[in-house]
Structure formats: structure tokens, C-alpha cells
Homo-oligomer: A and B are copies of this chain.
Amino acid sequence: MRAQPGRSVTSKVLALLDAFSAASPALTLSELARRAGLPLPTAYRRVAELVAWGALERGDDGRYRIGLRLWEVGSLAPRGLGLRELALPVLEDLYEVTHENVQLAVRQGLELVFIERIAGRHAVPVLTRVGGRFALHATGVGLVLLAHAPPEVQEQVLAAPLERYTELTVTDPRRLRHCLADVRRVGYAVSDRQVTMDALSVAAPIRGPEGVVAAISLVVAHDRANPVALAPLVQAAGRVLSRALGGS
């Protein structure tokens, strides 16, 4: 056959972009084709067009990478660099005061995406990456975003198995439900060694006109931390940003 019941061209293009990840930012054509589930000649043609436009770039090593043009377009995402640009001064203030890691994240489906991070040089190292994803049920920002997510999102997260990262990760849906209620009640979230045994994070919501749109957090070494003392700082930063976004 010559043109089997295949997928749409658009889905193939998007599958090619999907093939890239933080772990593998540079791929050969064959790897790309395999990851996207496309025959080699098909991948070849689509990739050639993407390179011509600038969505992909071909390095001197012959491997393909995400192109600057795609970064440019992506930077127009209101919830990406847009939010980032607005929040950066506030994050910097918070960093100046605490000299700890500051993080900004939004919810995307059943996960969170880190929009910005200021990595304190003397602070506890964090594993996350700007542009990276993470589960909603363990981190401080995740708990805030989940606690204020639409009910159907909460139910979906609670229904699925909750991955365990440390012995303190809350994996029981009933306990998590109580935690989320606490987060809503006190107005901030504390994740104490629920992601790694080194670190603790304190997070507060950022509200837009339609509700919570993002969360901000401090990540500190768990033995140096006093969550109750940090919470007001994080909450204050959250409120400044909420006001800037027209939230409550």
C-alpha cells in the first residue's frame, strides 16, 4: 500500500516535537522517527520542513535539536514567559530576603510545570528544571495547585496511584484529601520531605480573576527550616502577584 489509514500530518509533526525531552535534547533522524513512531522517509520530510522554518535546528554533529524559533514562539505563552516576566521581580525579592530556592509553577492537566526558579547558591540543591514537569501530590506548589484545582482534576489525581518519593510522601488518597482541605483552610502548603529527605517546601497560591493560576514556593533544607516562619513571606509574595494579576 502507499498511504495507509495513517494519522494526520499535524499529529506527526507534533509527535516529532514530542520526541525531544530534557533527557534527550539532541536526536538523530532515526531516533526521532522511532520515538515519533514514523517511517524514516516520513520523518525525513517533516523534519526538513521544521528545520526550514526554524522549529528544529541541525547541529554540526548531524543531530537535531529544538530550534530557537520554537523557543521564541513558546515564549509568547501567557502562562510561560509571560507569567515569568511579571513574577521575576517578586521572586527576586523573596530570594533577597531568604537566600533560599524560589520556585514558580502552574498546573498543566494532572501535573505541574515549573515556570521559573531562582536557585540559591548556598541553598539546598533542587532537582527540578525550568520547563520541567512533576506530579501534583508531593511538592508544596503541587499541593497548592491541586487544592485549588477543579474538583474533577482532584478526583482524577486521587483516583490514580500516588507515586511514593520518600517514606513521608502522602500516598493515601484519604490523607491527601485532608491535606488539601488544610491547604485551603490555612492558605499555604507545607511539603516536609515528601519529595526528597533533604528538603522541605512552603508554597502559596497566586490568584487571577478566575481563581488560582499559579503557585510560588520556597525550598529549604529540612533541618534549617521553620515552615511557620516562612509561610507569611511566601504568602505575601503570592498576594503581591495576585494583585498584579487582578486576583482576589
Contacts and interface: CB of A to CB of B under 8 A. Distances in A.
A165 B32 CA distance: 44
A133 B25 CA distance: 24
A68 B21 contact: no
A84 to B, nearest CB: 8
Contacts of A119: 89
A49 B7 CA distance: 11
A131 B71 contact: yes
A160 B52 CA distance: 22
Query: Could you say how many copies of this chain the assembly holds?
Result: 2
14 contacts: A8-B9, A9-B10, A9-B13, A14-B55, A17-B73, A20-B73, A60-B210, A66-B76, A66-B77, A68-B80, A71-B74, A72-B131, A75-B131, A81-B131
A164 interface: no
A10 B69 contact: no
A215 to B, nearest CB: 14
A11 interface: yes
A8 B74 CA distance: 22
Interface in A26-53: 26, 46, 49-50, 53
Given A49-B8, A53-B14, A68-B106, A121 B75 contact: no
A133 B57 CA distance: 18
A70 B55 CA distance: 11
B10 A81 contact: no
Interface of A: 8-11, 13-14, 17-18, 20-22, 25-26, 46, 49-50, 53-55, 57, 60, 65-82, 85, 89, 106, 108, 113, 119, 121, 129-131, 133, 210
Contacts of A18: 73
Nearest to A72: B131
Given A49-B8, A72-B131, A66 B78 contact: yes
Given A25-B76, A65-B78, A66-B76, 9 more contacts: A10-B13, A13-B13, A21-B76, A25-B78, A54-B108, A68-B106, A71-B75, A71-B81, A89-B119
A89 B18 CA distance: 29
A82 B82 CA distance: 18
B85 A65 contact: no
A144 B174 CA distance: 59
A49 B81 contact: no
